[in-house]
Amino acid sequence: MRTQVGIIGAGPAGLMLAHLLHRAGIESVVLENRSRDYVEKRVRAGVLEHPTVELLRETGLAERLDAQGLPHHGFALRFDGVDHRVALTELTGREITVYGQQEVVKDLIAARLAAGLALEFEVTGVSVHDLDSDRPRIAYTDSSGAARTLECDIIAGCDGFHGICRPAVADALTVFERVYPFAWLGVLAQTPPSHEELIYCYHDRGFALHSMRSPEVTRLYLQVPPDEPIERWPDDRIWEELGTRLAADGFTLTSGPIMEKGVTPMRSFVAEPMRHGRLFLAGDAAHIVPPTGAKGMNLAIADVRVLAAGAAAYFSTGRTELLDAYSDTCLRRVWRAEHFSWWMTSMLHRDPAGDPFDQRLQLSQLRYTAASRAALTSLAENYVGLPFDAPS
């Protein structure tokens, strides 16, 4: 088998890259070890930056997004039981859109299959070879059990943090990592959101977040220890704790059936460079951010936009400048997002050690941010997403 770009992973990074390549007339094959049903149902991020939404519109992927997505023009910082609104659109002229990652994935899969393009699910035994040659290969077993070899010009490793691509070149990478001393207990509840916007809440008992996925489904999070057993959190305890942390004058938390719940540890992670030979890493395969800043999926989309442009230049003219600059270009945005996500996380989460000095610093930062238009503007422009071509 032969293609121009072999893509490992059918998440937002891999599927969006395949879509952009197709629009540029470049052939690709997408390989995914999970089933289509699993990929389309796994609940992940739900906040799309303004540049991400614009790219989806420009590339013909926004029909359901525009019909079902929830534009948000601000969000609340809640501390001391009081809301302080971050007026995103007023401060930046842009907004975010709440639209689940799995919905973006559904749209991308539908577009690819409608075009009759190669997308293989439930492949196993994936490995990459000859990355330093001009004919790298992907070996795998397809869903029927047949052994396959896919020869490519370029391989895109879009297979996530636990995938095979980054470990295949680990000796050539430098890793930067920070593991946080807390996790998020996330729940998906069949109940209307209790507030029209997101609420980021600092509380003595720990951080809480009120988010949403639709007018009928609410997404909520609680700060918990990183090794917290989910069995310790029956539904009644979850709602009671959310009610305590999110309490504010005039706010009523609406409870309902919890459809999903789980505990997610938090880390910052960057692997440099994001390229080795003909293998290009993108999205979670190369970097992880704490979810506080809502950057994960948006960074993945930004990565593959850069990679698609480099591939288009290479296949049309033979020029490699954009591909050669891929890692440096992406990493400037990645480190900006890492800093913003670290800053949001550090400001809003309680230190499990309970250091009173750190707690006073957090409240000082929150109060300053809420009272300063300059600080609010900086927060807002990072949150809605810096333009793709802006210096980072």
Q: Active-site positions? A: 72, 200, 291, 295, 383
List all residues 6 or more positions away from 162 whose beta carbon is below 8 Å from its beta carbon: none
List all residues 6 or more positions away from 137 whose beta carbon is below 8 Å from its beta carbon: 128, 129, 130, 149, 150, 151, 152
Residue with tokens 């390229």: 275
Task: Give the integer Cα–Cα distance in Å for 313 and 241.
Answer: 53
The answer to whether 165 and 279 have CB atoms below 8 angstroms apart is yes
Task: Give the integer Cα–Cα distance in Å for 71 and 50.
Answer: 10
Residue with tokens 């957090």: 362
Beta bridge partners of 255: none
Count of positions (residues) in the chain: 392
Q: Taking the mean position of all CA atoms in its chain, how far away is CA 77?
A: 21
Element (H, E) at 323: helix 321-324
Element (H, E) at 364: helix 356-371
Element (H, E) at 199: strand 199-201
The answer to whether 103 and 65 have CB atoms below 8 angstroms apart is yes
Please count the helices (runs of H) and the strands (runs of E) in the chain.
13, 20
Task: Give the integer Cα–Cα distance in Å for 262 and 377.
Answer: 33
Residue with tokens 């590339």: 59
Distances (CA, A) of 337 to 172, 211, 300, 334: 24, 20, 11, 5
